Amino acid sequence: MNRDYAKYALRRVLQAIVVVLLAYVFTFVVISVLPGDPVTNTLRNPQNGFTEEEITRIVSYYGLDRPVHEQLWDSLSRLVVGDLGVSLRSGLPVTRLIGEVVGSTLVLALSALAVALVLAFAIGFGTRYLPKRGGQGLLRAFPALFLSVPNFVVGLVLISVFAFQLGLFRVIDSEGGAATSFAAIALGIPVSAQVAEVLIANLDHEAGQEYAAVARSRGLGRTRLFLRHLLKPSSLPVVTVIALTVGELLGGAVITEQIFGRTGVGSLVERSVTTQDLPVLQAVVTLAAVTFVVVNLVADLLYPLLDPRVRLAGGRSRGKAEVAAP
């Protein structure tokens, strides 16, 4: 098992590195190969007031006058030493721009995740404990509803009710605790739906398993059945789902930060898109991919340790054959 696990871990880590590098190349390709030349468009936009000389200088700095594969190579060599390039707008290093705002987004994303988990588990447990005709059906409809509401609508409603009408927080004080909490709720609600759906499905599945009936036939009560038997096998797959929601949290931050007037990675993206600041955009996408890959790598590496059923190295183990038949 241990050697198998080491092999598995090594393979997953190598895959993760490849995926990150490919993600960088992929965004590069999307940005530079797709029709339309955003960089020169931005530079030549009279509003930006670049002179012809400046344009030539910037173009040659980025090597935009050279073939695409050479640009890619340069870009990758810079990436390896941790240089993500320079903002086309402000001329500042991209790493510095991101460094300034990453903390705020991290706080928002983690609070949103907390909101999502609390909500999801509350819904999941509720479906087990509420009677079939009283509220359970309603509770089961929640994830579907949450999945159908655009997250900017949730944000707008929260602001309109809690900031404007009830005055619980002020939009101006966007980084304050209260404002952050509501932003986290707006971002967390759609995420909670995904987690809750899986949790409910697993709880239903496990409750219908033969072992649950057999445990009850031995005289186990409902609460103990739930806590000791159903909870663990139902929650384990949720680890994987939580890891997958990282993308949701980072993508959703673009809109949530804009609505709540926060400065974070999301609003940086929004600004970079409007100003066609491609180096920043590419760096943020790479960073998001790295985050996603790392979190999912950790989840994948953790899972075999948590769930005794998972066999590694593929194929059925012959463990059964070793044990003498009765």
Partner 1 sequence: MAPQDRLTLDRVEAPGQASAGALLRVEGLSVSYGDHQVVSDVGFALRRGESLALIGESGSGKSTIARALLRLLPQGIGRASGSVEFDGHDVLSLPERRFRPLRGKRIGFVPQDPGTSLNPVRTVGSQAREAAALLGGPGGHEELVLDTFAQVGLDNPRRVYDSYPHQLSGGMLQRVLIGLTVLPRPALIVADEPTSALDVTIQKRILDLLSDLRRDLDISLLLITHDLAVAAERADSLVVLKDGVVREAGRTAAVFSAPSSDYTRRLHADVPALNPDRYRHLRDREPAGGPPKIEVTGVTKSFTVDGRRLTAVDDVSFSVPTGTTHALVGESGSGKTTTIRLLLGLEEPDRGAISVAGEEVAGRSHASLRSIRRHLQLVYQNPFTSLDPLWTVERLVGESLDRFRVGTRRERADRVREALHSVGLGEDLLSRKPSALSGGQRQRVALARALVLRPDVIVLDEPTSALDVSVQAGIVEVLLSLQAELGLTYVFVSHDLALVRQLAHTVSVMHRGRIVESGEVGAIFDHPRESCTRALVDSIPVGAGAVAEGVS
Partner 2 sequence: MTVAAVPSALPAVRRGQAAKVPPTVAVSFAVLAVVLSWSVVPGLFTAQDPVNGVPADKFLRPSTAHLFGTDHLGRDLFTRVVHGTASSVTSALIAVGIGVVVGGLIGLVAGFAGGWVDSVLARLVDVLLAIPSFLLAVVVVSSLGFQTVNAAIATGVSAVGVFARVMRSEVLKTRQAVFVEASYLQGGSRWHILVRHVLPNASRSVLMLAVLQFGLSILVIAGLAFLGYGDPPPASDWGLLIATGKDYPLAAWLVYAPAFVTIATVLSVNRISRWLRKTD
Report the interface residues with partner 2, using CB under 8 A.
Answer: 15, 18-20, 22-23, 26-27, 30-31, 34-36, 38, 144-145, 147-153, 156, 160, 164, 246-248, 250-252, 254-255, 258-259, 269-270, 273-274, 276, 281-282, 284-285, 288-289, 292-293
Report d(CA 33, CA 285) in Å as an integer: 17
With CB under 8 A as the contact rule, the residue among 216, 239, 240, 299 that binds partner 1 is 216
* Binding letters toward partner 1, positions 294-323, x by CB under 8 A: -------------xxx---x-xxxxxxx-x
Whole-number minimum distance, CB 4 to partner 1, in Å?
A: 9
Of 229, 248, 276, 297, which lies in the binding site for partner 1, with binding defined by CB under 8 A?
Answer: 229
Quick one: what does residue 217 bind among partner 1, partner 2, none, with the CB cut-off 5 to 8 Å set by partner type? partner 1
Can you spell out the DSSP letters for 246-295? Answer: HHHHHHHHHHHHHHTT--SHHHHHHHHHHTT-HHHHHHHHHHHHHHHHHH
Choosing from 6, 76, 213, 227, the residue that interacts with partner 1 (CB under 8 A) is 213
What is the sign of the dihedral through the CA atoms of 155, 158, 161 and 167?
negative
Helices (H), the chain: 2-33, 38-44, 52-61, 68-80, 94-129, 137-148, 151-158, 177-207, 210-217, 222-224, 231-244, 246-259, 265-274, 278-306, 319-322
The correct pick among 81, 167, 208, 274 for binding partner 1 (CB under 8 A) is 208
Instruction: Compare residues 86 and 278 and give the one whose CB is closer to partner 2.
Output: 278
The burial of 107, by beta-carbon neighbours within 10 Å (0-12 exposed, 13-18 middle, 19 or more buried), is given as middle
Minimum distance from residue 227 beta carbon to partner 2 (Å): 27
The residues near 97 (Cβ < 8 Å, ≥ 6 apart) are 87, 90, 268, 280
Q: Residue 126 CB, nearest distance to partner 2 (Å)?
A: 19
Give which of partner 2, partner 1, none residue 260 binds (C-beta under 5 to 8 Å, depending on kind). Answer: none
Nearest distance from residue 224's CB to partner 1, in Å? 8
Of 51 and 320, which CB lies nearer to partner 2 in the complex structure?
320
Region near partner 1 per CB under 8 A, out of 12-20, 59-67, 183-191, 215-223: 215-223
**The pair of three-digit structure tokens given for residue 83, joined into one six-digit string:** 């240089």
CA distance 288 to 240: 18
Cβ atoms of 291 and 246 closer than 8 Å: yes
Q: Cα separations (Å) of 33 from 17, 56, 71, 277, 281? A: 24, 20, 11, 16, 15
Q: Does 218 bind partner 1 (CB under 8 A)?
A: yes
70 binds, among partner 1, partner 2, none (CB under 5 to 8 A by kind): none
- What's the token pair of residue 25? 């190349």
Nearer to partner 2 by C-beta: 87 or 231? Answer: 87
- Name the token pair of 195: 């987690």
Give 65's contacts (C-beta < 8 A, 6+ positions apart). Answer: 59
Among 236, 239, 244, 299, binds partner 1 (CB under 8 A): 236
Provide the mask over 124-163, with x wherever binding to partner 1 is found by CB under 8 A and - wherever it is not. --------x-------------------------------
By beta-carbon proximity to partner 1, the closer residue of 7 and 170 is 7
Residues near partner 1 (CB under 8 A):
132, 208-211, 213-221, 228-229, 232-233, 236, 307-309, 313, 315-321, 323-326
